[in-house]
């Protein structure tokens, strides 16, 4: 048998899953004594060269509360053409299309190497990807110029049939109509007035005319696309037009830098909400400073009052923060509900209000990029990289995903931490104790790329007095439905199983199967998650206590003899990770602005294990002329 | 004979009672012998009958008015009262009189009326006053009273003429019989007696079997021969008409009475506006009128002359209702003559008059009195060798600033008197300093924003394209100061339907940018830079835009529009650009889209205005505060609530234009001319006017297209050459006859080039403790302007009926006061008019007949609101023409001279089958063609062979190369030249349907909406006067 290290690695490569424990303690009591919760890091769209998607619908368990997908762990009766769900034990008939299966003629989803499998399904009309640029015009001349160039360049990177739209804002917000010829037309909104989605749609003329068409009037073809396409047009049709339009963008001419980011975002959200709900779409916000007016304003327009600092926040002195945060949260939730995402590209020397706006990216799976200026290679390259293509020539982005987690009876789902929001799917496998975003077995991830990683926490609910028979295995199934960048609808199903072990008699097994890297990242995510809502010192104290308890449980030492302390190999690095985590910018705010903290935390909550570890404990490379970095 | 007939008639008399009396009355004037006359005149008809009918009428009237008839009357008073209501009864009374009539030749008429008196000997008296017949009422009063007889009799001996002539001194002219009139031609205003009329009238009446008479029924009771019917018929209708017209004002009775009599009056014998105008032209036309004397009465507005400013403002700028103020308020109250000035601060002066000088007093700004802040002007008296001056307004003694010091000459006048306009002229301008500017910053040049309704209707009618095409050339003609090469005015463009579209036309753009603002609930301006541009700089972009607008919306199907947000947007744009300016809004329909200021179709005939529309009133305030003037061009097909929509226009000094059922081909010349004229108008922006007066009186009330935040400052977002403000004055104290009444009107404004200036107009009036002086210097045209504006303003707060009553009673009061205090002794029954007010009754009647004051349901509310609004800002010349249209006979054109033919009175009687007439009132123009108009004239004007070939569809005449056509064209141009609104020419053929419309403008006749005829009204006023005097 291979080492656990190899096992873990193999599992990660195949399924994109890393568990803190690879052998599970078989009772609730024991599980809690393990200190580090049973949890996993899941990279739903982990790139796999060897995973050809199958072109049919998955077979689902017929029990309405289960609906698990047929997988290699299921018991199959080939003669009766029946299969038993390994989560709820429901016996299911195979669908007619499976009439020909036998032990030698198995569908892919029953083969062990397909513990992760991807289905391409035909559902609904395919809509092209949508990119809505929301551009701040209150920039310095050269910054604006650089931004314009980046945007113009990006047009060539977009898929030709992608829909693109442009909203610019400063003191006012302008929604540019891209379909008109001869004259450039835009709808203008006051930057200080918060509008409901309905109002926005009315004002943009997106709502269907309720008035019956009068006689004698030229009839207008009342097709939905016609209406919406005024603002969102296929790139190939209007790239010249849009390039010119971008080129002609003027700096906001009003005397003061009044920036209506809040309203601009609100309009962008409303526009997509009204035209393409539940279709993959990115709202890409480019801003060169904090919102200074209207709903969502972060700082006043007078330069004498600086933007809030951690100090102000502690002193409860940040007047606009709560209101602004609320505004952006509302927007983020709406966006997420529609399956769209918001990217934030903030380039300024000072803060830009990421603290308040972070939820827009966090809840919708959007990007967050922070730079000093649009005229830096940092921004230019980062932005370009967004449109990078994967090895198979596809964009490394997916949209509107929903993640459904199913567990064996002994296990319940406590929550998830990552760029997702809850879909509030209560079910039998949802735990009452929440860790992260809990109370649900389904989450929505509006935008994700192959490295997007969620932390999912479980709770062992098996009672101590009802032991699991030797050799029993617990299973978890992750079902991710998403819109592929090729606009296909796909479903990726990952089913994994781990052995149960009695912690009293088989502690060494459990110990050996401990994945300290995963555990460190999972604990770090918990810590960072808590840090968002709790005081910094409390979080640190909590982390410390957890570490101490872990050492207590798994360390070997003689009382009052520090030198005697030993941890087994599988735990040896864990304290070190915790040490670095304590002083990382994810938990320490000293010397970081609130924006920076938000930025770091944002990234930490979505990266995969390797990236996360590097972030926690930066690797110091030594470069030389004589060899590779060490 | 007739009388006998009457007498005999008793039985039926009831129905015809008055007849006898009447006839008598008529007859008398003409000739001593009524009978003779009758017979003669009425040859065709049976004399008696006609007489009868007439008489009846007067009777009724007399009864109510006059003192209670003596008991002697055969008929009880009650009868009289009834009379009016039911003519039938009246007749009875008359029967009595007839007998007397027999005896007396001329007086018969009176006698009728006075029948009761008769027995008392009233006969004589009655006879004397044939003249007065107008008011049968009066007569009656005499008669009945018997007492009156004495007066009368004394005044006029047997011959009627005799008495009348004498009184007719100058001003008074009793209403002597027509025959006597002849002499009156001159000053005598006398309403000539009906004497001459009688024959005429009768004839008309009789043959006239004229029109259908509702009253005929009454007649039915009459046994008399057929002859009667016709006559009565005539009267009948009249009566009815009169009643309608003044329901409120007078008791029904009098009106009726009046009616009948009119017929008998010779229209030529009553004061003729045309005569007055022509007289003034003859005496003053073409001359130089120098304003070198205080209290000098200027020529009439209709008289062309050259005005030389020699210390008082030209009448083009200021006209007063009277140039001599009564010295005490008691006197003023007694006379009830409104003391008012009509100020048209930016009036256009003809090229042969000097334009205003601009005075610069340097950095300290204009020199002003320390106490009352009046500006340096000719009324300042320099004393102490020129070191100080005494303010002519408040008498405060001020030091002369060193830089302004100048020695005085031997008569105490500054040596530089003639070098300084502010010392020697009535009107001039000061350059204002920063203290006079908004926020102490020099103003920016004004901006014009063109806001075009691009809803389906306007696109479909081709209007949008028309406007856009026109603007391309029009923008080159923006007004500019003489010395400047190009206009400093910036322009901006907005189109709208349910949302607003702003356009960025910055010169650096390759093509215009359109910005849509759909948040109409809270409109804002989406761009600052590039919205208002200099046309010359942005020419290509603007032209590009104007080319595109019609196409851009070519397939629109948006039919809803907004309105208040449009104004709001324009105002905000001007505010953001920190300049004053004008909005040109081209709108077609009721703004029904969901937005502030949304209007509902509430064509309620009773409503005239809606100050309650809060949206509009706050909008108005903001517009005025930001110097935003709103010009509104309306193209309605149906009700558009002019009252609400025009509100902002009204208060911001804008102009409202309305083109009902706009048809591109027919109406575009009118519209385009209006637009060109309006765009090119010299205008003062962001103006504040202040009227200062010398001690003893002050300005109390202001009427016009103005906005007032307090009681003294008249704010106008803009004021152009056609806008006049009428200011009413009241006494505070006694006025000093030596120093007179001085008025200084100062208008602070921003010129079209963006210069802040003060325009000063000074005028000095006399004061007198003699009412006669006051009456002598009255200006009827200005009075009518004042009455019109005050009445039109009052209708918002008072019932129409009250407003009308006030007008009538005030007229009567003014005249009665004159009669009482100034006129020579004469019979009460005589109507005596002061020379200067000779035509007041006819003008007043015209005013009362205007559709604004006639609350008839047939008249569209919009039309009333529109007229009301126009008149409120009109100057004297405009109101004069508006209320008394010009009616020019064209068939007798003198092709050789280049003068405009003399006008004739606006009455149907002046038209003839063989004539061609042109009628213009400043708003519309009619070419009326008689059925037998000279064919050569028709050929010449229309290039068609005969009357039947003329198309009445056309709104203009063909350009033909013949003297008729050229002459008419030049006349049309002349008439149009001075008028603010372009008049649309309508061609009307006699006896065709559209003639109805035309007839409304024949203001001396009874109108179809119930307005009284001139004669009716005169009688009515006379009656009122008599009542006041008795």
Cα–Cα distance for residue pair A186/B669, rounded to 1 Å: 35
Chain A residue whose CA is closest to B457: A217
**A183, B509: Cβ pair inside 8 Å?**
no
Task: Name B634's bridge partners.
Answer: B587, B658
Same-domain pairing of B399 and B331 = no
Each residue's pLDDT tens digit, A512-563: 889 999 999 999 999 999 988 888 788 999 999 999 999 888 888 888 888 8
Contact by Cβ (8 Å): B266, B26: no
Q: Classify residue B124: in a domain, yes or no.
A: no
Cα–Cα distance for residue pair B334/B250, rounded to 1 Å: 22
Same-domain pairing of B544 and B467 = yes
Nearest residue to B924 via CA among B884, B871, B983, B973? B983
Report yes or no: B496 at the A interface, CB cutoff 8 Å.
no
Residue B408, both tokens: 């005085």
The alpha-carbon gap from A301 to the nearest alpha carbon of chain B, in Å, equals 18
- Cβ contacts (< 8 Å) between B552 and chain A: which residues? 182-183
Q: Classify residue B48: in a domain, yes or no.
A: no
Sheet with strand A91-93: strands edge to edge: A75-77, A82-84, A91-93
DSSP per residue over B445-466, as a string?
PPEEEEEEE-SHHHHHTTHHHH
Each residue's pLDDT tens digit, B5-36: 333 333 333 333 333 333 333 333 333 333 33
DSSP category for residue B345: T
Cα–Cα distance for residue pair B233/B239, rounded to 1 Å: 10
- How many domains does the structure of chain B reveal? 4
- Does B578 score more than 70 pLDDT? yes
Same-domain pairing of B668 and B698 = no
Chain B residue whose CA is closest to A180: B552
- Residue that wins the pLDDT comparison between B604 and B236: B604
Q: Classify residue B62: in a domain, yes or no.
A: no
pLDDT category of residue B613 using cuts at 50, 70 and 90:
low
Q: What is the CA radius of gyration of chain B?
A: 31
pLDDT at residue number B996: 82
- Residue that wins the pLDDT comparison between A549 and B955: A549
Range scoring the smallest mean pLDDT among A504-508, B52-56, B841-845, B1011-1015: B52-56
- Does B889 score more than 70 pLDDT? yes
- Does B106 score more than 50 pLDDT? no
Give φ, ψ of A501 to 5 degrees: -145, 145
Contacts of B977 (CB under 8 A, 6+ apart): none
Same-domain pairing of B970 and B945 = yes
Taking each helix axis as running N to C, give the angle between helix B197-205 and helix B34-41, from 0 to 180 degrees, rounded to the nearest 10: 40
Mean pLDDT across B763-784: 91
Contact by Cβ (8 Å): B1006, B1016: yes
pLDDT at residue number B451: 95
pLDDT category of residue B154 using cuts at 50, 70 and 90:
very low
Mean pLDDT across B918-925: 89
Q: Which helix (H) or strand (E) holds A538?
A: helix A536-554
pLDDT at residue number A208: 55
Nearest residue to B373 via CA among B711, B684, B685, B691? B691
* Furthest C-alpha separation in chain A: 97
Range scoring the smallest mean pLDDT among A58-72, A75-89, B148-162, B673-687: B148-162
The domain that holds B654 is classified in CATH as 3.40.50.410
Helix (H, G, I), strand (E, B) or coil at A528: helix
pLDDT category of residue B758 using cuts at 50, 70 and 90:
very high
- Cβ contacts (< 8 Å) between B548 and chain A: which residues? 182-183
Residue A43, both tokens: 């990279």
Mean pLDDT across B394-403: 92
Same-domain pairing of B690 and B676 = no
Cα–Cα distance for residue pair A547/B987, rounded to 1 Å: 105
DSSP category for residue A469: P
Same-domain pairing of B505 and B384 = no
- Cβ contacts (< 8 Å) between B559 and chain A: which residues? 214, 217
Contacts of B1 (CB under 8 A, 6+ apart): B35, B38, B39, B47, B48
Report yes or no: B576 at the A interface, CB cutoff 8 Å.
no
Each residue's pLDDT tens digit, A22-33: 999 988 888 888
**A203, B528: Cβ pair inside 8 Å?**
no
Given the DSSP bridges, would you call strands A561-566 and A556-558 parallel, antiparallel or unpaired? antiparallel
Residue B219, both tokens: 């007649």
Helix (H, G, I), strand (E, B) or coil at B919: strand
pLDDT category of residue B589 using cuts at 50, 70 and 90:
confident
The domain that holds B811 is classified in CATH as 2.60.40.1670
Q: Classify residue B383: in a domain, yes or no.
A: yes
Mean pLDDT across B613-622: 82
pLDDT at residue number B603: 54
pLDDT at residue number A256: 59
- Does B434 score more than 60 pLDDT? yes
Cα–Cα distance for residue pair A165/A174, rounded to 1 Å: 11
DSSP per residue over B477-528, as a string?
G----TT-SS---EEEEEEESSSEEEEE--TT-SS-EEEEE--GGG---S-S
- Does B47 score more than 60 pLDDT? no
The alpha-carbon gap from A413 to the nearest alpha carbon of chain B, in Å, equals 47
Give φ, ψ of B147 to 5 degrees: -55, -50
Cα–Cα distance for residue pair B493/B498, rounded to 1 Å: 16
Q: Any idea what the Cα angle at residue B73 is, between residues B70 and B76, rounded to 5°?
A: 95
Q: Classify residue B954: in a domain, yes or no.
A: yes
pLDDT at residue number B240: 35
Range scoring the smallest mean pLDDT among A66-70, A521-525, B133-137: B133-137
The domain that holds B394 is classified in CATH as 2.30.30.380
pLDDT at residue number B65: 39
DSSP category for residue B76: -
Same-domain pairing of B750 and B832 = yes
Same-domain pairing of B456 and B569 = yes
Same-domain pairing of B779 and B650 = no
Same-domain pairing of B594 and B498 = yes
Residue showing tokens 């407003």: B803
Nearest residue to B357 via CA among B428, B461, B436, B432? B428
Mean pLDDT across B293-316: 90
Each residue's pLDDT tens digit, B411-423: 888 999 999 999 9
Range scoring the smallest mean pLDDT among A176-180, A500-504, B327-331, B501-505: A176-180
Report yes or no: B543 at the A interface, CB cutoff 8 Å.
no
Range scoring the smallest mean pLDDT among B238-252, B284-298, B630-644, B860-874: B238-252
The domain that holds B945 is classified in CATH as 3.40.20.10
**B529, A193: Cβ pair inside 8 Å?**
no
Cα–Cα distance for residue pair A28/B203, rounded to 1 Å: 125
pLDDT category of residue B590 using cuts at 50, 70 and 90:
confident
Highest mean pLDDT, choosing among A58-62, A239-243, B179-183, B902-906: A58-62
Contact by Cβ (8 Å): B894, B814: no
Q: What is the mean pLDDT of chain A?
A: 87
Q: Is this complex scored with an ipTM above 0.95?
A: no
Contact by Cβ (8 Å): B652, B680: no
Q: Classify residue B165: in a domain, yes or no.
A: no
Task: Name B916's bridge partners.
Answer: B929
Percentage with pLDDT > 90 across chain B? 31
DSSP category for residue B851: T
Contact by Cβ (8 Å): A598, A358: yes
Q: Classify residue B725: in a domain, yes or no.
A: yes
Helix (H, G, I), strand (E, B) or coil at A475: strand
Q: Classify residue B600: in a domain, yes or no.
A: yes
Cα–Cα distance for residue pair B635/B559, rounded to 1 Å: 14
Each residue's pLDDT tens digit, B984-1002: 888 888 888 778 888 888 8
Nearest to A184 among B502, B514, B551 (CB): B514
- Does B558 score more than 60 pLDDT? yes
Mean pLDDT across A572-597: 89
All domains of chain A in start order, with CATH? 1-54+111-123+397-463+471-504 (2.60.40.1670), 131-206+230-383 (3.40.50.410), 515-629 (1.20.120.730)
Mean pLDDT across A613-628: 80
Q: Which of B805, B827, B849 is the last residue of a domain?
A: B849
Each residue's pLDDT tens digit, B787-796: 999 999 888 8
**A190, B527: Cβ pair inside 8 Å?**
no
- CA atoms lying within 13 Å on the CB side of residue A306: 10
Residue showing tokens 């529609």: A338
**B526, A202: Cβ pair inside 8 Å?**
no
Mean pLDDT across A280-293: 91
Percentage with pLDDT > 90 across chain A? 38
Q: How far is CA B457 from CA B376, B432, B715, in A?
A: 55, 46, 36
Q: How far is CA B583 from CA B447, B621, B652, B753, in A?
A: 8, 15, 10, 17
Each residue's pLDDT tens digit, A338-394: 989 999 999 988 889 999 999 999 999 998 999 999 999 999 999 998 888 877 778
Q: What is the dihedral of CA B299, B302, B303, B304, to 10 degrees?
A: 120
Q: Give Cα B1010 distance to the centre of its chain.
A: 18
- Residue that wins the pLDDT comparison between B376 and B486: B376
Same-domain pairing of B804 and B902 = no
Q: Which of B663, B681, B699 is the last residue of a domain?
A: B681
pLDDT at residue number B709: 86
Q: How many CB pairs (< 8 A) connect A and B?
A: 74
Residue B634, both tokens: 């309306």
Same-domain pairing of B529 and B664 = yes
Contact by Cβ (8 Å): B102, B173: no
Given the DSSP bridges, would you call strands A39-42 and A454-460 parallel, antiparallel or unpaired? antiparallel
Task: Name A151's bridge partners.
Answer: none
Each residue's pLDDT tens digit, A86-120: 888 889 999 988 888 888 888 888 888 889 999 99
Q: Which domain holds residue B509?
A: 447-681
């Amino acid at each position: 048998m291979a080492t656990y290290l190899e096992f873990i690695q193999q599992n990660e490569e195949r399924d994109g899953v890393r568990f803190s424990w690879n052998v599970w303690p078989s009772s609730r009591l024991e599980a809690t004594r393990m200190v580090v919760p049973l949890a996993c890091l899941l990279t739903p769209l982990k790139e796999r060269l060897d995973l050809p998607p199958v072109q049919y619908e998955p077979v689902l368990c017929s029990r309405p509360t289960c609906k698990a997908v047929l997988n290699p762990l299921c018991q199959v009766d080939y003669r009766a053409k029946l299969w038993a769900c390994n989560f709820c034990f429901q016996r299911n008939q195979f669908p007619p299309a499976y009439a020909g299966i036998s032990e030698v003629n198995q569908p892919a989803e029953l083969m062990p190497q397909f513990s992760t499998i991807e289905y391409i399904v035909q559902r609904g009309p395919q809509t092209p990807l949508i990119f809505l640029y929301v551009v701040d015009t209150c920039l310095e001349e050269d910054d604006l110029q650089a931004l314009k160039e980046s945007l113009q360049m990006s047009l060539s990177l977009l898929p030709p049939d992608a829909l693109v739209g442009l909203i610019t804002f400063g003191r006012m917000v302008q929604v540019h109509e891209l379909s008109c010829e001869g004259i450039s037309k835009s709808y203008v909104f006051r930057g200080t007035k918060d509008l409901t989605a309905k109002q926005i749609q009315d004002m943009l003329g997106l709502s269907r005319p309720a008035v019956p068409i009068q006689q004698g009037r030229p009839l207008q073809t009342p097709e939905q696309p016609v209406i919406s396409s005024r603002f969102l047009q296929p790139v190939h049709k209007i790239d010249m037009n849009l390039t010119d339009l971008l080129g002609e963008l003027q700096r906001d001419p009003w005397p003061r830098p009044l920036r209506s980011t809040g309203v601009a975002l609100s309009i962008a959200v409303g526009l997509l909400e009204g035209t393409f709900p539940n279709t993959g779409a990115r709202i890409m916000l480019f801003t060169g400073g904090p919102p200074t007016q209207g709903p969502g304003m972060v700082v006043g327009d007078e330069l004498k009052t600086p933007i809030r600092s951690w100090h102000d926040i502690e002193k409860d002195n940040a007047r606009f923060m709560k209101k602004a945060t609320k505004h952006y949260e509302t927007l983020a939730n709406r966006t997420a509900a529609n399956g769209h995402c918001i990217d934030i590209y903030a380039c300024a020397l000072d803060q830009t209000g990421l603290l308040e706006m972070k939820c827009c990216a966090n809840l919708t799976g959007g990007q967050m990029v922070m730079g000093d200026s649009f005229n830096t290679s940092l921004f230019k390259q980062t932005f370009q990289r967004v449109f990078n293509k994967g090895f198979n020539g596809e964009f490394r982005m997916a949209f509107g995903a929903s993640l459904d987690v199913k567990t064996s009876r002994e296990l319940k789902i406590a929550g998830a931490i990552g760029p997702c929001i809850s879909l509030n799917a209560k079910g039998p496998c949802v735990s009452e104790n929440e860790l992260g975003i809990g109370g649900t077995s389904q989450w929505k991830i509006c935008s994700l790329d192959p490295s997007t990683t969620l932390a999912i926490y479980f709770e062992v609910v098996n009672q101590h007095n009802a032991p699991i028979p030797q050799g029993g295995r617990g299973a978890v199934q992750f079902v991710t439905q998403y819109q592929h960048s090729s606009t296909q609808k796909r479903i990726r199903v990952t089913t994994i199983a781990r052995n149960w072990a009695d912690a009293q008699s088989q502690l060494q097994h459990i110990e050996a199967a401990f994945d300290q890297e995963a555990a460190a990242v999972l604990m770090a995510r918990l810590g960072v998650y808590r840090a968002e809502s709790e005081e910094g010192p409390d979080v640190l104290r909590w982390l410390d206590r957890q570490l101490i308890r872990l050492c207590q449980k798994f360390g070997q030492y003689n009382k009052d003899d520090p030198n005697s302390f030993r941890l087994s190999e599988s735990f040896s690095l864990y304290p070190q990770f915790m040490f670095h985590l304590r002083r990382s910018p994810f938990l320490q705010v000293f010397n970081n602005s609130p924006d920076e903290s938000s930025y770091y935390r944002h990234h930490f909550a979505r990266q995969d294990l390797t990236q996360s570890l590097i972030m926690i404990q930066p690797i110091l490379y030594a470069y030389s002329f004589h060899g590779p970095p060490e | 004979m007739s009388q006998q007939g009457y007498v005999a008639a008793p039985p039926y008399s009831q129905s015809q009672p008055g007849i006898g009396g009447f006839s008598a009355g008529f007859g008398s004037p003409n000739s001593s012998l009524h009978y003779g006359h009758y017979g003669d005149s009425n040859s065709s008809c049976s004399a008696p009958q006609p007489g009868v009918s007439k008489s009846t009428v007067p009777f009724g009237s007399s009864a109510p008015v006059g003192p209670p008839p003596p008991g002697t009357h055969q008929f009880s008073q009650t009868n009289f009262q009834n009379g009016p209501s039911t003519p039938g009864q009246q007749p009875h009374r008359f029967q009595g009189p007839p007998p007397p009539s027999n005896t007396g030749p001329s007086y018969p008429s009176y006698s009728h009326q006075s029948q009761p008196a008769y027995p008392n000997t009233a006969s004589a008296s009655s006879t004397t006053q044939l003249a007065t017949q107008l008011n049968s009422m009066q007569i009656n009063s005499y008669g009945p009273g018997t007492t009156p007889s004495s007066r009368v009799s004394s005044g006029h001996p047997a011959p009627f003429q005799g008495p009348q002539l004498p009184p007719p001194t100058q001003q008074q002219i009793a209403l002597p019989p027509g025959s006597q009139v002849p002499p009156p031609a001159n000053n005598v205003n006398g309403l000539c007696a009906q004497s001459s009329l009688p024959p005429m009238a009768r004839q008309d009446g009789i043959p006239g079997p004229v029109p259908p008479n509702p009253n005929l029924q009454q007649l039915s009771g009459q046994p008399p021969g057929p002859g009667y019917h016709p006559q009565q018929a005539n009267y009948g209708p009249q009566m009815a008409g009169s009643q309608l017209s003044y329901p409120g004002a007078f008791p029904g009775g009098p009106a009726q009475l009046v009616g009948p009599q009119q017929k008998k009056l010779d229209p030529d014998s009553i004061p003729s506006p045309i005569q007055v105008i022509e007289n003034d032209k003859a005496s003053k036309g073409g001359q130089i009128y120098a304003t070198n004397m205080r209290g000098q009465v200027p020529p009439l507005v209709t008289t062309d002359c050259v005005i030389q400013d020699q210390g008082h403002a030209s009448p083009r700028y200021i006209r007063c209702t009277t140039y001599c103020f009564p010295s005490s308020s008691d006197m003023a109250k007694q006379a009830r003559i409104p003391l008012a000035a009509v100020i048209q601060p930016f009036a256009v002066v003809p090229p042969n008059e000097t334009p205003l000088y601009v005075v610069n007093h340097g950095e300290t700004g204009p020199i002003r009195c320390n106490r009352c802040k009046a500006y340096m002007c000719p009324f300042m008296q320099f004393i102490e060798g020129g070191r100080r001056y005494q303010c002519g307004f408040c008498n405060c003694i001020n030091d002369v600033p060193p830089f302004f010091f100048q020695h005085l000459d031997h008569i105490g006048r500054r040596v530089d008197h003639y070098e300084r306009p502010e010392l020697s002229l009535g009107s001039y301008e000061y350059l204002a300093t920063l203290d006079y500017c908004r926020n102490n910053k020099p103003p920016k040049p004004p901006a014009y924003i063109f806001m075009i309704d691009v809803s389906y209707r306007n696109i479909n009618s081709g209007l949008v394209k028309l406007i856009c095409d026109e603007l391309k050339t029009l923008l080159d003609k923006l007004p500019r100061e003489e010395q400047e090469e190009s206009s400093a005015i910036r322009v901006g463009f907005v189109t709208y339907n349910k949302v607003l579209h702003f356009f960025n036309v910055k010169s650096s753009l390759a093509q215009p940018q359109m910005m849509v603002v759909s948040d109409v609930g809270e409109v804002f301006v989406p761009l600052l830079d590039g919205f208002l541009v200099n046309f010359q700089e942005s020419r290509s972009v603007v032209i590009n835009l104007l080319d595109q607008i019609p196409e851009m919306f070519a397939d629109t199907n948006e039919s809803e529009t907004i309105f208040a947000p449009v104004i709001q947007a324009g105002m905000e744009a001007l505010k953001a650009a920190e300049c004053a300016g004008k909005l040109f809004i081209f709108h077609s329909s009721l703004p029904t889209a969901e937005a502030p200021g949304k209007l509902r179709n509430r064509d309620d005939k009773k409503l005239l205005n809606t100050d309650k529309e809060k949206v509009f009133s706050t909008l108005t305030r903001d517009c005025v505060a930001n110097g935003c003037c709103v010009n509104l061009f309306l193209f309605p097909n149906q009700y558009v609530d002019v009252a609400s929509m025009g509100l902002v226009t009204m208060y911001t000094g804008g102009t409202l234009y309305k083109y009902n059922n706009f048809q591109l081909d027919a109406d575009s010349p009118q519209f385009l001319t209006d637009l060109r004229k309006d765009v090119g108008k010299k205008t003062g922006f962001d103006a504040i006017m202040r009227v200062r007066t010398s001690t003893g009186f002050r300005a109390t009330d202001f009427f016009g297209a103005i906005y007032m935040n307090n009681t003294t400052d008249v704010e106008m977002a803009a004021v152009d050459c056609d806008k006049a403000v009428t200011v009413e004055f009241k006494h505070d104290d006694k006025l000093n006859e030596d120093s007179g009444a001085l008025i200084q009107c100062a208008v602070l404004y921003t010129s079209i080039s963006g210069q802040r200036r003060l325009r000063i107009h000074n005028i000095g009036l006399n004061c007198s403790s003699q009412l006669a002086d006051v009456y002598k210097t009255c200006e009827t045209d200005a009075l009518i302007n004042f009455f019109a504006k005050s009445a039109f303003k009052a209708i918002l707060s008072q019932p129409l009926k009250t407003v009308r009553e006030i007008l009538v009673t005030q007229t009567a009061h003014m005249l009665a006061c004159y009669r009482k205090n100034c006129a020579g002794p004469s019979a009460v029954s005589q109507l005596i008019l002061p020379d200067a007010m000779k035509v007041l009754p006819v003008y007043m009647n015209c005013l009362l007949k205007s559709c604004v004051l006639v609350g008839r349901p047939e008249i569209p509310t919009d039309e009333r609101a529109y007229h009301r609004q126009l008149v409120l800002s009109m100057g004297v010349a405009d109101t004069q023409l508006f209320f008394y249209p010009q009616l020019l006979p064209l068939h007798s054109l003198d092709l050789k001279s280049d003068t405009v033919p003399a006008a004739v009175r606006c009455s149907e009687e002046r038209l003839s089958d063989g004539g061609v007439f042109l009628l213009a009132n400043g708003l519309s123009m009619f070419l009326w063609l008689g059925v037998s108009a000279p064919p050569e004239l028709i050929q010449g004007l229309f290039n068609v062979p005969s009357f039947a070939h003329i198309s009445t569809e056309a709104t203009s005449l063909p350009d033909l190369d013949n003297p008729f056509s050229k002459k008419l064209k030049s006349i049309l141009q002349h008439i149009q030249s001075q008028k603010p609104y372009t008049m649309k020419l309508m061609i009307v053929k006699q006896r065709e349907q559209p003639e109805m419309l035309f007839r409304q403008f024949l203001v001396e006749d009874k109108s179809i909406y119930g307005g009284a005829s001139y004669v009716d009204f005169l009688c009515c006023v006379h009656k009122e006067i008599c009542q006041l005097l008795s």
